[in-house]
Structure 1
Amino acid sequence: MGERTGSCLCGGIEFTVTPGSDKVGACHCNMCRKVAAGPFMTIGCDSDFRVTTGEDMLGVFVSSDWAERGFCKGCGSPLFWRLRDGSMMQLSVNSLDDPGTLTFDHEVFIDHKPDYYSFAQKTHQMTEAEVLAAFAEGKSS
Protein backbone atom coordinates (compact mmCIF):
# COMPACT_ATOMS: atom_id res chain seq x y z
CA MET A 1 0.00 0.00 0.00
CA GLY A 2 1.22 3.46 -0.83
CA GLU A 3 1.22 6.62 1.20
CA ARG A 4 -2.22 8.01 2.02
CA THR A 5 -3.40 11.38 3.27
CA GLY A 6 -6.06 12.06 5.83
CA SER A 7 -7.56 14.66 8.10
CA CYS A 8 -9.98 15.32 10.90
CA LEU A 9 -13.52 16.59 10.24
CA CYS A 10 -12.67 20.31 10.56
CA GLY A 11 -9.44 20.01 8.54
CA GLY A 12 -7.39 21.41 11.41
CA ILE A 13 -5.20 18.29 11.36
CA GLU A 14 -3.85 16.81 8.15
CA PHE A 15 -1.53 13.81 8.03
CA THR A 16 0.23 11.29 5.84
CA VAL A 17 0.53 7.59 6.56
CA THR A 18 1.47 4.37 4.80
CA PRO A 19 -0.83 1.65 6.14
CA GLY A 20 0.85 -1.66 6.93
CA SER A 21 -1.78 -3.63 5.00
CA ASP A 22 -5.18 -3.32 3.38
CA LYS A 23 -6.90 -5.06 6.31
CA VAL A 24 -9.49 -3.10 8.30
CA GLY A 25 -10.52 -4.14 11.79
CA ALA A 26 -13.34 -3.19 14.12
CA CYS A 27 -12.98 -2.89 17.88
CA HIS A 28 -16.09 -3.41 19.97
CA CYS A 29 -14.60 -2.61 23.40
CA ASN A 30 -16.52 -0.15 25.56
CA MET A 31 -13.91 2.62 25.20
CA CYS A 32 -13.74 2.39 21.40
CA ARG A 33 -17.52 2.41 21.10
CA LYS A 34 -17.68 5.57 23.23
CA VAL A 35 -14.92 7.30 21.24
CA ALA A 36 -16.33 6.36 17.82
CA ALA A 37 -20.07 6.24 18.68
CA GLY A 38 -19.99 2.66 17.41
CA PRO A 39 -17.28 0.15 16.54
CA PHE A 40 -13.92 1.83 15.95
CA MET A 41 -12.88 0.93 12.39
CA THR A 42 -9.09 0.99 12.07
CA ILE A 43 -6.14 0.08 9.91
CA GLY A 44 -2.63 -0.59 11.21
CA CYS A 45 -0.02 2.05 10.49
CA ASP A 46 2.47 1.63 13.34
CA SER A 47 5.15 4.35 13.40
CA ASP A 48 4.51 5.88 9.96
CA PHE A 49 1.85 8.47 10.99
CA ARG A 50 3.07 12.03 10.33
CA VAL A 51 1.09 15.21 11.02
CA THR A 52 1.64 17.68 8.17
CA THR A 53 -0.73 20.44 9.34
CA GLY A 54 -2.05 21.27 12.80
CA GLU A 55 0.32 19.48 15.16
CA ASP A 56 -0.86 21.89 17.88
CA MET A 57 -4.45 20.69 17.30
CA LEU A 58 -3.56 17.06 18.07
CA GLY A 59 -4.72 16.00 21.50
CA VAL A 60 -3.71 12.74 23.17
CA PHE A 61 -5.81 11.10 25.87
CA VAL A 62 -4.24 8.37 28.02
CA SER A 63 -7.07 5.85 28.07
CA SER A 64 -5.38 3.05 30.04
CA ASP A 65 -2.08 2.08 31.63
CA TRP A 66 -0.83 0.91 28.24
CA ALA A 67 -2.75 2.81 25.52
CA GLU A 68 -3.66 6.31 24.38
CA ARG A 69 -5.95 7.88 21.79
CA GLY A 70 -5.31 10.77 19.44
CA PHE A 71 -8.02 13.27 18.50
CA CYS A 72 -8.51 16.75 17.08
CA LYS A 73 -8.85 19.40 19.79
CA GLY A 74 -11.02 21.47 17.44
CA CYS A 75 -13.69 19.07 16.21
CA GLY A 76 -13.12 16.03 18.44
CA SER A 77 -12.55 13.59 15.56
CA PRO A 78 -10.91 10.38 16.80
CA LEU A 79 -7.76 9.77 14.76
CA PHE A 80 -5.90 6.84 16.30
CA TRP A 81 -5.35 4.38 19.11
CA ARG A 82 -1.78 3.40 19.98
CA LEU A 83 0.24 1.59 22.60
CA ARG A 84 1.99 4.10 24.84
CA ASP A 85 5.37 2.53 24.08
CA GLY A 86 4.82 3.35 20.38
CA SER A 87 5.06 -0.26 19.21
CA MET A 88 1.56 -0.41 17.68
CA MET A 89 -0.82 2.13 16.20
CA GLN A 90 -4.29 1.75 14.71
CA LEU A 91 -5.54 4.65 12.58
CA SER A 92 -9.22 5.51 12.17
CA VAL A 93 -9.80 4.27 8.63
CA ASN A 94 -12.57 6.83 8.21
CA SER A 95 -10.08 9.68 8.64
CA LEU A 96 -8.35 8.76 5.35
CA ASP A 97 -9.16 11.10 2.46
CA ASP A 98 -9.34 8.16 0.03
CA PRO A 99 -9.20 4.75 1.67
CA GLY A 100 -9.00 3.01 -1.71
CA THR A 101 -9.65 -0.70 -1.82
CA LEU A 102 -9.57 -2.17 1.66
CA THR A 103 -10.77 -5.46 3.14
CA PHE A 104 -12.80 -5.71 6.33
CA ASP A 105 -10.83 -8.51 7.96
CA HIS A 106 -11.20 -8.80 11.74
CA GLU A 107 -13.16 -7.82 14.84
CA VAL A 108 -11.72 -7.61 18.34
CA PHE A 109 -13.48 -7.63 21.71
CA ILE A 110 -16.31 -9.43 19.94
CA ASP A 111 -17.70 -10.47 23.32
CA HIS A 112 -18.32 -6.76 24.07
CA LYS A 113 -20.33 -6.14 20.87
CA PRO A 114 -23.93 -5.16 21.64
CA ASP A 115 -26.68 -7.20 20.00
CA TYR A 116 -28.23 -4.22 18.20
CA TYR A 117 -25.75 -4.23 15.29
CA SER A 118 -23.82 -6.74 13.21
CA PHE A 119 -21.76 -6.84 10.02
CA ALA A 120 -22.64 -8.85 6.94
CA GLN A 121 -19.03 -9.87 6.20
CA LYS A 122 -17.45 -12.91 7.81
CA THR A 123 -14.36 -11.83 9.72
CA HIS A 124 -11.78 -13.28 12.07
CA GLN A 125 -13.24 -12.59 15.52
CA MET A 126 -11.36 -12.40 18.82
CA THR A 127 -12.73 -12.14 22.35
CA GLU A 128 -11.22 -9.88 25.00
CA ALA A 129 -9.30 -12.83 26.47
CA GLU A 130 -7.90 -13.74 23.04
CA VAL A 131 -6.85 -10.15 22.32
CA LEU A 132 -5.10 -9.78 25.68
CA ALA A 133 -3.37 -13.14 25.22
CA ALA A 134 -2.17 -12.05 21.76
CA PHE A 135 -0.77 -8.81 23.22
CA ALA A 136 0.98 -10.79 25.95
CA GLU A 137 2.56 -12.96 23.25
CA GLY A 138 3.56 -9.88 21.24
CA LYS A 139 1.16 -10.53 18.35
CA SER A 140 -1.68 -8.55 16.87
CA SER A 141 -4.45 -9.46 14.42
Structure 2
Amino acid sequence: MAYHCQCLCGKVNYDVILDNLDFSICHCSMCRKNTGGTGFSYFYTYCQPNFSSSDFLSTYNAQNIAERVFCNQCGTLLYYRHFESNGYCIPIGIVDNLSEEKVKLVSEWYYQDKPSYYDYNEETKKF
Protein backbone atom coordinates (compact mmCIF):
# COMPACT_ATOMS: atom_id res chain seq x y z
CA MET A 1 0.00 0.00 0.00
CA ALA A 2 1.25 3.52 -0.79
CA TYR A 3 1.74 5.97 2.06
CA HIS A 4 2.40 9.69 2.01
CA CYS A 5 5.35 11.04 3.98
CA GLN A 6 6.53 14.56 4.69
CA CYS A 7 9.11 16.41 6.72
CA LEU A 8 8.44 18.72 9.65
CA CYS A 9 8.41 21.94 7.59
CA GLY A 10 6.39 20.36 4.75
CA LYS A 11 8.86 21.27 1.99
CA VAL A 12 9.67 17.63 1.23
CA ASN A 13 6.89 15.18 0.38
CA TYR A 14 7.05 11.67 -1.00
CA ASP A 15 5.03 8.53 -1.45
CA VAL A 16 6.36 5.09 -0.64
CA ILE A 17 4.96 1.58 -0.85
CA LEU A 18 5.03 -0.41 2.38
CA ASP A 19 4.17 -4.12 2.23
CA ASN A 20 3.10 -4.09 5.87
CA LEU A 21 3.22 -1.92 8.96
CA ASP A 22 5.67 -4.05 10.93
CA PHE A 23 8.44 -1.82 12.22
CA SER A 24 11.85 -2.13 13.80
CA ILE A 25 13.96 -0.04 16.11
CA CYS A 26 17.74 0.36 15.81
CA HIS A 27 19.54 1.01 19.09
CA CYS A 28 23.02 1.66 17.68
CA SER A 29 24.77 4.81 18.85
CA MET A 30 24.69 6.36 15.35
CA CYS A 31 20.90 5.98 15.06
CA ARG A 32 20.34 7.30 18.57
CA LYS A 33 22.56 10.29 17.84
CA ASN A 34 20.97 10.90 14.43
CA THR A 35 17.42 10.92 15.82
CA GLY A 36 18.25 12.51 19.16
CA GLY A 37 16.13 9.82 20.80
CA THR A 38 16.21 6.33 22.20
CA GLY A 39 16.51 4.72 18.77
CA PHE A 40 15.49 4.87 15.14
CA SER A 41 11.97 3.49 14.56
CA TYR A 42 11.40 2.55 10.93
CA PHE A 43 9.45 0.61 8.34
CA TYR A 44 11.58 -1.40 5.89
CA THR A 45 10.91 -1.53 2.16
CA TYR A 46 12.71 -2.24 -1.09
CA CYS A 47 10.51 0.29 -2.89
CA GLN A 48 12.24 3.56 -3.67
CA PRO A 49 10.47 6.65 -2.32
CA ASN A 50 8.78 8.75 -5.01
CA PHE A 51 9.57 12.41 -4.25
CA SER A 52 7.43 15.20 -5.62
CA SER A 53 10.51 17.47 -5.58
CA SER A 54 14.18 17.10 -4.69
CA ASP A 55 14.89 20.80 -4.13
CA PHE A 56 15.37 20.46 -0.37
CA LEU A 57 17.09 17.06 -0.15
CA SER A 58 20.53 16.53 1.31
CA THR A 59 22.44 13.29 1.73
CA TYR A 60 24.86 12.15 4.39
CA ASN A 61 27.11 9.19 3.55
CA ALA A 62 27.14 6.96 6.64
CA GLN A 63 30.52 5.21 6.67
CA ASN A 64 30.20 4.15 3.00
CA ILE A 65 27.61 1.52 3.92
CA ALA A 66 24.47 3.64 3.77
CA GLU A 67 23.05 7.06 3.08
CA ARG A 68 20.84 9.18 5.28
CA VAL A 69 18.63 11.53 3.30
CA PHE A 70 17.14 14.53 5.08
CA CYS A 71 15.40 17.86 4.50
CA ASN A 72 18.01 20.60 4.35
CA GLN A 73 15.50 23.14 5.69
CA CYS A 74 14.20 21.51 8.89
CA GLY A 75 16.60 18.55 9.28
CA THR A 76 13.95 15.81 9.25
CA LEU A 77 15.40 12.38 8.42
CA LEU A 78 13.50 11.18 5.32
CA TYR A 79 15.05 7.74 4.91
CA TYR A 80 18.11 5.61 5.50
CA ARG A 81 19.21 3.41 2.58
CA HIS A 82 21.63 0.54 3.04
CA PHE A 83 23.84 0.24 -0.06
CA GLU A 84 24.36 -3.54 0.00
CA SER A 85 20.70 -4.55 0.32
CA ASN A 86 19.34 -1.41 -1.39
CA GLY A 87 16.58 -1.42 1.21
CA TYR A 88 15.01 1.73 2.61
CA CYS A 89 14.33 2.45 6.26
CA ILE A 90 11.41 4.87 6.40
CA PRO A 91 11.08 6.72 9.73
CA ILE A 92 7.75 5.83 11.31
CA GLY A 93 7.17 9.41 12.48
CA ILE A 94 7.01 10.95 8.99
CA VAL A 95 4.36 8.60 7.60
CA ASP A 96 0.96 10.31 7.44
CA ASN A 97 -2.36 8.71 8.41
CA LEU A 98 -1.10 5.43 9.82
CA SER A 99 -3.70 2.92 10.96
CA GLU A 100 -2.24 2.60 14.44
CA GLU A 101 -4.03 -0.68 15.14
CA LYS A 102 -2.05 -2.21 12.24
CA VAL A 103 1.37 -0.90 13.32
CA LYS A 104 3.45 -3.49 15.15
CA LEU A 105 6.95 -3.46 16.66
CA VAL A 106 8.60 -6.71 15.52
CA SER A 107 12.37 -6.36 15.92
CA GLU A 108 15.15 -4.47 17.66
CA TRP A 109 18.59 -4.11 16.09
CA TYR A 110 21.89 -3.63 17.94
CA TYR A 111 20.00 -4.63 21.05
CA GLN A 112 23.28 -5.03 22.94
CA ASP A 113 23.80 -1.25 22.52
CA LYS A 114 20.39 -0.31 23.97
CA PRO A 115 20.76 1.88 27.05
CA SER A 116 19.29 0.36 30.20
CA TYR A 117 17.03 3.33 30.94
CA TYR A 118 14.18 2.14 28.71
CA ASP A 119 12.44 -1.05 27.56
CA TYR A 120 9.54 -1.85 25.24
CA ASN A 121 6.64 -4.04 26.36
CA GLU A 122 6.29 -5.92 23.06
CA GLU A 123 7.98 -9.26 22.45
CA THR A 124 10.44 -8.66 19.62
CA LYS A 125 13.19 -10.41 17.71
CA LYS A 126 16.48 -9.05 18.97
CA PHE A 127 19.53 -8.78 16.74
TM-score (norm 1): 0.83
Residue 21 (structure 2) aligns with:
22
Residue 45 (structure 1) aligns with:
45
- Greater relative contact order (Cα < 8 A, sep 6+): 2
Q: Deviations over 1:62-109 (max 9, x none)?
A: 011211101110000111111235621111011101122211110000
Q: Which runs of 5+ in 1 are unaligned?
A: 127-141
Q: CA deviation at 1:118?
A: 1.2
Q: Tell me, what secondary structure is at the counterpart of 1:35?
A: helix
One-letter code aligned to 2:68: R
Q: Report matched runs for 1:1-141 at 5 Å.
A: 2-38=1-37, 39-52=39-52, 54-84=53-83, 87-100=86-99, 101-126=102-127
Tell me, in whole angstroms, the C-alpha distance in 1 between the residues paired with 2:89 and 2:105.
14
Higher strand fraction: Structure 1 or Structure 2?
2
Q: Does the 8 Å CA contact 1:43/1:93 hold for their aligned counterparts?
A: yes
Q: Which runs of 5+ in 2 are unaligned?
A: none
Tell me, in whole angstroms, the C-alpha distance in 2 between the residues paired with 1:59 and 1:86.
21
Tell me, in whole angstroms, the C-alpha distance in 2 between the residues paired with 1:115 and 1:65.
30
Structure 1 moving runs of 4+ over 4 Å: none
TM-score (norm 2): 0.91
